[in-house]
Structure 1
């Protein structure tokens, strides 16, 4: 298994910058040269999740990462926490960078945002072209999604805000490790991840982040259809040991996505990008070479 990312959270942030708009400031990084890849992070983490994958792929790709509104080093107050707001942030950033064609690499909440972007593509209103899609563990089949107990509590009115206010570093460390495979986060690795998660008491906003589940309950049919009908190269890079979106989701997705390439990671949980980042980067690079 791979070690703790070679880059610290402080260095990750120092290598990035901000895009300001009326919707708030978005933190992003733009690394490397070559075919553009846009890496979209999940809940409840931030772009640092991709640090090692981004480092590897930036050797021969242009790698763009960002923190969604309300996450990491992007603005966390007075911003739009919705899936649409996050998709808008991606569109604004790529327009700012002058990137017209991308491959999307999506995970967890970033998977939902990716599906919204693909839905916009299908309706002819997306401002950039999607050349390929790489999906890491996400609830892409709504019927198979298994939220954790804490996620269910966070989604409840009133109770969710109370639960979020009581989230501690220790509780979140333990919670993330329950959905990882054999490569657990040690204290040093979680310390780095915590830097962005806790910035501005961001962990206490988890009850607002998790509202994407209510949106998914309303919109999952069009989001699933947008992904399943994507007519370009698509690949599923899947941690099978994930209790939330693992083998059970992959098995339901298989017949719905018969043309998708599939990379199975048997001892990997919900966070393939930081559990075996070398394998994930290789899968993305190999699929690009075959396209």
Structure 2
């Protein structure tokens, strides 16, 4: 099954609280391994967990948040090392550890089942959770999964130059020396032409990145790219063996994990459900939140 959604030309809405400060003030913190983790919860209905990407945070979901919370009980968090959560310097960051964090959070909330909606880095965390469920190691059920522009198949992932540099032996220097100008230059490449971030958006993204010395750990967080290769077979099998409904929503203008990733998904996943968003880049939920919400709502209505 495949759908193609043409580019929308409406003004991008702001979420109900309107600002990054409002997003932060509407959140709560909990502890994981002695570190403070930022989270948000709102809405009613079946639990829907949103997982963000690298190098950003749960704020990415802010534009689609008010739409989703009208339909579902929505939960999100800033993973360790991201956004408003703690960013310990000497910490062994990994996808498996982030999956432990998410799993423990869901368990702690007493939820017996959740729907997952993941972007980028969060897609890898979701693949790990799916693998655990299939191995009988997850204490709750994953009812459905929706992916947004994630590197589900590392062989067709095309990292930006800044990501390659962060992975290099000079990664620590690159991380600590990252300037706002160089960040903006690289980050803007990820967006499509339809609704690129304005200067206020870039200020918010930069603030989240640098909050609590976030620049100093980027080279540690980037190790997830190597993890994707190491765990490739297990994580791809988790997709191929998944019993729950899955959908991929793909911004086709994404230079990192866009059209090529969607093609690979169609090749390797039986009866693939793909929605393609034309002229949209790596952050569909930020660039065209109505289309993302519409595609997700249709997915949920179809699966019942």
TM-score band, normalised by shorter chain: over 0.9
Question: Which residue of structure 1 aligns with residue 116 of structure 2?
Answer: 104
Q: Give the match for residue 212 of structure 2.
A: 200
Q: Does the alignment pair 1:127 with 2:152?
A: no
Deviations 1:126-174 (A, max 9, x none): 12210100011011112111111111110112x0011111112222222
Residue 34 of structure 1 aligns to a residue in which SS? coil
Moved more, 198-207 or 124-133: 198-207
SS at match of 2:215: helix
Q: Distance in 2 between matches of 1:281 and 1:23?
A: 35
Q: Which residues of structure 1 form unaligned runs of 5+?
A: none
Counterpart contact for 2:151–2:261, Cα < 8 Å? yes
Deviation per residue, 1:103-130 (Å, 9 max, x gap): 1111111111111111111111012210
Is the CA contact 1:9–1:193 (under 8 Å) kept in the aligned structure 2? no
Distance 1:33 1:261, change over 3 A: same
Correspondence for 1:267: 279
TM-score under structure 2 length normalisation: 0.92
From 237, 245, 252, give the equivalent of 1:225: 237
Q: What residue is the counterpart of 1:181 in the other structure? A: 192
CA distance in structure 2 between the partners assigned to 1:24 and 1:119 by the alignment: 26
Return the alpha-carbon distance in structure 1 between the equivalents of residues 116 and 279 of structure 2. Answer: 24
For residues 1-291 of structure 1, the aligned pairs below 5 Å read 1=9, 2-3=11-12, 5-6=14-15, 7-77=18-88, 79-157=91-169, 159-182=170-193, 183-291=195-303
Mark the CA change 1:149 to 1:216 in structure 2 (over 3 Å): closer, same or farther. Answer: same
- Does structure 2 conserve the Cα–Cα contact (< 8 Å) formed by 1:99 and 1:128? yes
The alpha carbon displacement at 1:55 in A equals 1.6
3-state SS of 1:52 partner: coil
CA contact 1:154–1:207 (8 Å) conserved in 2? yes
* Contact kept? 2:262, 2:274, Cα under 8 Å: no
Q: Distance in 2 between matches of 1:237 and 1:96?
A: 30
Change (3 A) 1:21 1:120: same
Stretches of 4+ aligned residues off by more than 4 angstroms: none
Matched-pair contact (CA < 8 Å) for 1:69–1:80: no
